[in-house]
Each structure stands twice: as C-alpha cells, then as structure tokens.
Amino acid sequence: MGRVVSGVEIIEYFKETYQAETKIFTYLQGEEYITQRGYMIEYPVLIEDYSSIGIIPVSSYGEFIIRQILEFNPDFLIIDGEPLMIQAIKFLLPKIKIATFLNPFDVDNPSNQPSSSLFFNTLFSMADLAIVHGFWKVENHSKNNNLYSINTIIRKEVLSITPTRSKDKICCILGGGTVNSKREFQSKSISIAIKCMLLADFFEDFEFHIFCGSSEIFNEISNEERKANTFLHPNLASCEKYFKDSKLIIARAGRNTISEVFYLEIPAIVIPSGCKFRAIEQKTNAEIVEEMSCNRIINVDENISIADLVIQCKKMLKIDFQESKNWIPGNEQAIELLLNLYNS
C-alpha cells in the first residue's frame, strides 16, 4: 500500500525467490503503475476513501483492505507510508507483523510543525519494523527501536541496465505524484515539460522524449507546438527507454528518479518543484545528491530561463562517462531486515 515502487519491487522479490503468495492494495497513480506491471485492480477506490495523509481506515476501501487481510492471513504486511492504516491494523489485528517503508522526510521534516511530526512518528512507531530509505540517514528523534535508515530501494529493471549514452537523446521524466496532487504541482510539472519542448529548438540533432507520468499532463501538453524531434509519452513506460541510451536526463527531483540516475551515473539536471512541503523535500534531496555525485547531477531552480537551461544542458553533455557504482541501493538490506522480521 502507499507509494508503490519500492513496495512492488520487494513484493516481486519475495514472489520470485520464495514463491510467496502476495496481495497489493493501492490507489490513484499506484493503480496505473501496478496495472502496467500486470496486476489486476481488485477494488474501485473513491475520493471519499482517502485523505491528504492516505487511506481512511473506516472508509469503504479501508474496510475492504482489513477484510482481505483477515481472509489472507499474511505472514507480514508492508505498508508504504499510510500512518492511519498502520494504526488501525495494529489496533484491530495486533498479532500481524507490519513493516513500513518511509521517506527520510516522513520521519525528520524540519518544515512540519512539532505536533504534526509527533503525530506521524507516533503512528509509524507502531509498526514492527520501519525502513527509512533515501539519500541521507535520519536521526531517530522518535527513539523508535525498530527504525533502520538505509539507501533508497530502486527497481530491479534499473539494477539490470548498463547505460551506453549511445544516442543523441535527452529525456525528461516527470515521475509520479501528479494524480490527486494540488493544481500548483501539476502546473509546475507542465512547465518543466514545456521548457524541455522549447529546448529542442537549440539541440536540433537530439531527440527529446518527455515521459509525462500521467495522462492528465500528457493531455495538457499534447496540443502544444513542438518540433519533429520531440516525442511525448503518456506514462513512464519501460525505464530502458529513457535510461539505456540517453546522454542527459532532465527530471523533477523526486526521490525515486534521482536515486536511479545517481545509481546509473547518467548526467542529470533535476528540478525541485511542487507545493511548499514537497518542494523543500525535493530541494534537500537534490542538494545532497549534487554533492554526492560531484556535480554529475545538478539541481536548477524551476523558474530557470530557457537560455540558462541551454547553458546547463551543454555543460552536462560534456561530462565524460565513468562507471564506478560507488553507491549501493538499499534493496538487499531491506530484504534482510524483512526476513529477520519474518523469522522473529
């Protein structure tokens, strides 16, 4: 449940390695993602089933999930975020083991007022295991003895890619999070896409591919005038299509995307954007990875002019390709922690 990508990755590992029986519950953009991965949607999720902090346990969908858990009787649950569901399931089904996946900002967010941080950390601490995965190690302010901070869990498909940078190709990845987001966040994502469409005027020998991340953004920009070397894609598709042979990635500074380009060591320009809290999180991630990557990944302001963006693109396209793989994703560590929970 929750933010999907890391959860699906771990679920599929247990299916393939241990032939585990699994169930996945998700909603909004998560539905699009798991449908692309071949899963069926079991239940229609309505707007009254969720709030700004996730599924409402006493909603129709929340109650459906709890009934399914009772029937399925799992060895453990993985809940990606979703503090209210952690609390409800621990209250109603205290013997079921719960692991929660969290962003560093879920646990340590300087932008949150203290009461909100206390609320979230108290609910997260009800899980039997809390795996915080991202670029930076969090301080355990909640004194949660079951909390572990590791590197980001990334997709198996990404782990198998060897970048070639063989084509004159620049890809813009807008990522997830735009379904049910504030209009401000969608507008800023659209602005990034349009900037990339304008860049095609300055790099006529390059292909520009824009992966919109949602049908809403695709529909909004598909009527914009664009050059013949610019291609729009309604969803993220296979990551090989944008990581395998691209010379440069331009992306919103979401945790998953910048973790992936950082691991693959593809030059990238990342753009922190969104509403107040999301923008601060993205800016923090972008600054940390810029330093860690020795400027192989740089962050620029969302209001950057086209002229300045062209300068940054030209600079990044000159970076020599060097494969070192110094950064290790947190996948294996997460699996080890989950197996320890299962065996405990």
Reported confidence tier of residue 217, pLDDT bands at 50, 70, 90: confident
Mean pLDDT on 89-110: 93
Alpha-carbon distance of 188 to 165, in angstroms, equals 28
Name the CATH superfamily housing domain 158-317: Glycogen Phosphorylase B; (3.40.50.2000)
Reported confidence tier of residue 143, pLDDT bands at 50, 70, 90: low
**β-strands 76-80, 54-55: how paired?**
unpaired
Q: Of the segments 86-100, 125-139, 208-222, 262-276, which one has the largest average pLDDT value?
A: 86-100
Same fold yes or no, 5-153+330-343 and 158-317? yes
SS3 call for 222? coil
Q: b/e string for 190-213 if b means 16 or more Cβ within 10 A? A: bebbbbbbbbbeebeebbbbbbbb
| DSSP per-residue codes, 317-336 | HTPPP--------SHHHHHH
Sorted by where each begins, the domain ranges of the chain are: 5-153+330-343, 158-317
Residue 241 has pLDDT above 70, yes or no: yes
**Is residue 120 within a helix (H) or strand (E), and if so which, with residue range?**
helix 114-124
Residue 285: the pLDDT is: 87
Class of the domain covering 5-153+330-343: alpha beta
